[in-house]
């Protein structure tokens, strides 16, 4: 679990086959094999590390669902270690499980992103959304996406300042919205079933009974 507050701007050193190597410093403090680190909002597992670098394996599923497959040596990436129980939750609860890829329509500071239609229902004004691993607050919900205001500090210490119109970004919607939808869907189904049963009972009570042809 992450907070969407980027700790460090790393860089891709190499990407050969399924193995990606990332240059970093801060996120290597106390690192161990098997630890998780969010890369542009995508949770990856540390499989090797050394002085100033660490590596992870990128699966075919991750390539399909995120922009990581488009990264090349030299590209900057947003890095964040998992939140600890004693940490302040300055952003919002982020899983590092990318829901889809959006497209930048307008760059920072008034960042506008077009997003997949099936994810738009989870976006609300003043709600939270993660863009390339950065926790942001939605300013406006549009017919095909949303806008967020990116402050100069976020522009400087993350990749968002490097994104231009037409580029892809990893999106993770607020997991609480998905849980709420799931719970409400079950309740709605129960109410609809009860309503159908009531209608059937009412119809049966008002329908004349067969009197044997008399």
Q: pLDDT digits over 8-21, tens only? A: 999 999 999 999 99
Q: Mark whether 47 and 18 lie in a shared domain.
A: yes
Q: What is the C-alpha to C-alpha distance for residues 186 and 191, in angstroms, rounded to an integer?
A: 9
Q: Mark whether 73 and 129 lie in a shared domain.
A: no
161-202, pLDDT tens digit by residue?
999 999 999 999 999 999 988 888 877 677 778 778 778 777
Structural domain including 139 reads 100-176
At residue 211 the predicted structure's pLDDT band, cuts being 50, 70 and 90, is: low
pLDDT at 208: 66
Q: What is the CATH number of the domain that holds 73?
A: 2.40.30.20
- Give the chain's mean pLDDT: 93
> Which tokens go with 47?
């499989």
Number of folded domains in the chain?
2
Residue appearing with tokens 């161990």 = 32
17-73, pLDDT tens digit by residue?
999 999 999 999 999 999 999 999 999 999 999 999 999 999 999 999 999 999 999
User: Over the Cα atoms of the chain, what is R_g?
Assistant: 23
103-138, pLDDT tens digit by residue?
999 999 999 999 999 999 999 999 999 999 999 999
- Non-local (6+) Cβ contacts of 165 within 8 A are 104, 105, 106, 107
């Amino acid at each position: 679990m992450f907070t969407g507050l980027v700790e460090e701007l790393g860089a891709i050193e190499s990407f050969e086959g399924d193995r990606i190597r990332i240059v970093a410093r801060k996120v290597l403090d106390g690192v161990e094999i098997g630890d998780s680190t969010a890369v542009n909002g995508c949770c990856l597992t540390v499989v090797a590390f050394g002085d100033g670098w660490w590596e992870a394996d990128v699966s075919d599923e991750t390539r399909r669902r995120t922009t990581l497959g488009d990264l090349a040596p030299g590209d900057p990436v947003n890095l964040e270690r998992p939140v600890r129980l004693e940490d302040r939750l300055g952003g919002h609860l982020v899983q590092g499980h990318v829901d889809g890829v959006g497209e930048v329509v307008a760059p920072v500071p008034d960042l506008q992103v077009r997003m997949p239609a099936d994810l738009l229902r989870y976006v609300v004004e003043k709600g939270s959304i993660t863009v390339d691993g950065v926790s942001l607050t939605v300013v406006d919900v549009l017919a095909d996406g949303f806008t967020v205001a990116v402050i100069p500090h976020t522009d400087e210490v993350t990749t968002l300042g490097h994104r231009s119109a037409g580029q892809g970004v990893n999106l993770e919607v607020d997991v609480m919205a998905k849980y709420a939808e799931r719970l409400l869907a079950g309740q709605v189904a129960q109410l609809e079933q009860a309503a159908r049963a009531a209608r059937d009972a009412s119809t049966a009570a008002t329908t004349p009974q067969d009197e044997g042809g008399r």
